[in-house]
A and B are shown apart, each in its own frame.
Chain A
Amino acid sequence: MTLSRESAVTGNAVSQAWSSHEGAAALAAPTSTEKRRVFDWRILLGFFLPVAIALLWEAAVTFGLAEGRLVPPPSRIIAMLWGLAQTGELRTHAWMTLWRVLVGFVIGSLSGIVLGALSGSSKTMRQLLDPTLQALRAIPSIAWVPLFILWLGIFEASKVALIAIGVFFPVYLGIAGAILSVDRKLVEVGHVFRLSRVQLARRILLPAVLPEAVIALRSGLGLGFMFVVAAEFMGASEGLGYLLVDGQQMGKPDQILAAIIAFALLGKTADSLLVVAAKPLVRWQDTVRERL
């Protein structure tokens, strides 16, 4: 039986290559190398467009077809990044930005988790909290900036506050929604085994909301990176956002693009760290494995 299955795999491998991903994966289940090769190819495909455009632009500037003053070629951006890294400036700025995001994220997500948990698990709390928070959510967060500056000054506190606000809402909504949508059937299993409220929260609600909580935290983190730029536009002497403003005022598009690339790398790294940290907690999920 094993023999016939294996021969079926090799025999069909070619003809199945184009069929659905799932079908191919199920078919190739015993030979994991085959599965990995299919997957690698797709990742490489994603690189094709940006690399091709970069090379084309580089060539256009090199051969004098374009001037490249406002849109610098990749080599100049890399040189700028390298220069900033050499002088240690890149590290100072990136570190400052990261620090602001981190503090804002911790404050925003902690309050989002606490209030989201309250509003998700108790109807009274939801009726008390949710209308106010929804109303506040309707205000574009940047509109708070003048007030924050008046209240908290122009230094770190007002920046962190803005980032925390940005992080808070997606986390709050995600956690509250996740708790509200926990399967009643699983909660009943807890009731049958006579779990107390605390035990129910720890043994059923918490694990059940974890996957959605991770997603909420990730979108919170993404917004944190968005708001750090706004915060650093408010007037900062350090941070990647400062590099952006400085690049504009000094007419250095290569510095702007270098800062943008640094932002992208930083954001992606932070997101991946969050995913890796959460992975062992949500391993049990019965979903497409590559979802997170």
Chain B
Amino acid sequence: MLTFEHLSKTYADGTRALSDINLTVHEGEIVSLIGGSGCGKTTLLRLIAGLDRESAGRIRLDDEVLSGPHPAVGIVFQEPRLLPWLSVFDNIAFGLDGLSATEKKLRVTHALEKIGLVEHADRWPRDLSGGQQQRVSIARAFVTNPKVLLLDEPFSALDAFTRASLHEHLLGLWEETRPTVVLVTHDVQEAVTLADRAVVMQPKPGRIFDELPLTLSRPRDRTGLPFETSVRRVLTALDHSLKAPQAQPQRERDRQAAALWW
């Protein structure tokens, strides 16, 4: 179980990227974070991954307070971030340093099968397409069997076809060990396809606006009516997050700014 308690992050330049985030993600749950640009989604993932320090509050994994990178937490960045000097195989094996060679080979080969890149094991990352690179980066995060997997808009640079097939690859890998997944996305369809719950965020300062359970049974039929309904519900929430509660204080501040100007 992943818990955020009064989590806040203010950057050195005073940007309040996150303010008082409270959320619990259950074990094996897939939560998708949705929200406009700049509402602190990447910041939240970086805090969980231990790449940045929170300004206040804390993150707990089961009974442990996270401070710094944790072995049970894996992350897939928005870009593949493969190491260009390692082959596809060695890139996937990058986090498996402590294991024996046979165990390593076993796990990596299995992951390669899952993402459908067995015949590419010995190639350089530069020789792969963007979608293939992103698959390798997902496999790299999965082979260490993390309890928590963070994905930061991993498919945003890809076309709709590739994205749909990567969703399947991702769910295929997820089925095996059922890690807790926090998935950041801009794409409402993607959230409804993958997640058990959508968390809608709001910017300035970054905070949680709404939570929507997505209880459709898997595998999800993207053309069915329930899917459409869920998409519409999330879209409505997203719409409100961008407009309604923000509008009042925003206009007020504008008026003040105008007053100061004159």
> A-side interface residues toward B, CB under 8 Å?
185-186, 188-189, 191-194, 199, 203-204, 207-208, 210, 284-286
Contact = CB atoms under 8 A, between A and B. Distances in A.
Of A189, A199, A204, A285, which is in contact with the most chain B CB atoms at under 10 Å from its CB? A189
Contacts of B51: 188, 191-192
Contact of B69 (A192, A203, A204): A192
Contact of B84 (A188, A193, A194, A286): A286
A189 B81 contact: yes
- Grouping DSSP codes into helix (H, G, I), strand (E, B) and loop, the B interface class, with mixed when no group exceeds half, is loop
Contacts of A286: 84, 124, 126
B203 interface: no
A141 B51 CA distance: 45
Given A191-B50, A207-B83, A284-B126, 13 more contacts: A185-B77, A188-B77, A189-B81, A189-B83, A192-B50, A193-B144, A194-B69, A203-B94, A207-B85, A284-B84, A284-B86, A284-B124, A286-B126
B187 interface: no
Nearest to A189: B81
B208 interface: no
B74 interface: yes
B124 A186 contact: no
Contacts of A193: 69, 94-95, 97, 144
Nearest to A188: B51
B84 A285 contact: yes
A124 to B, nearest CB: 20
A191 B70 CA distance: 10
B85 A284 contact: yes
Contacts of B188: none
A141 B55 CA distance: 51
A191 B52 CA distance: 11
Contacts of A189: 81, 83, 94
Q: Which of A192, A208, A210, A285 has the most CB of B within 10 A?
A: A192
B38 to A, nearest CB: 20
B210 interface: no
B75 A192 contact: yes
B49 interface: yes
Interface residues of B, number: 21
Contacts of B50: 191-192
Contacts of A204: 83
A194 B95 CA distance: 9
B75 to A, nearest CB: 6
Contacts of B97: 193, 199
B153 to A, nearest CB: 15
A203 B97 CA distance: 11
B27 to A, nearest CB: 21
Contacts of B172: none
> 9 tightest A-B contacts by CB?
A286-B126, A207-B85, A284-B85, A193-B95, A194-B69, A284-B124, A189-B81, A284-B84, A185-B81
A46 to B, nearest CB: 29
Contacts of A210: 85
B209 to A, nearest CB: 29
A210 B83 CA distance: 13
13 contacts: A185-B77, A185-B81, A186-B83, A188-B77, A188-B81, A192-B49, A192-B69, A194-B69, A194-B71, A204-B83, A207-B85, A284-B84, A284-B126
A232 B79 CA distance: 54
Nearest to A211: B85
A208 B81 CA distance: 13
A278 to B, nearest CB: 13
B79 A185 contact: yes
A208 B85 CA distance: 8
A193 B94 CA distance: 8
Interface string B72-107: 001101010101111000000011010000000000
A193 B74 CA distance: 8
A192 B74 contact: yes
A286 B125 CA distance: 9
Contacts of A188: 51, 77, 81
A164 to B, nearest CB: 30
B67 to A, nearest CB: 12
Interface string B39-58: 00000000001110000000
A216 to B, nearest CB: 18
Nearest to B77: A185
Interface in B121-141: 124, 126
Interface string B145-172: 0000000000000000000000000000
A203 B96 CA distance: 13
Interface in B1-56: 49-51
A285 B50 CA distance: 30
A179 B85 CA distance: 16
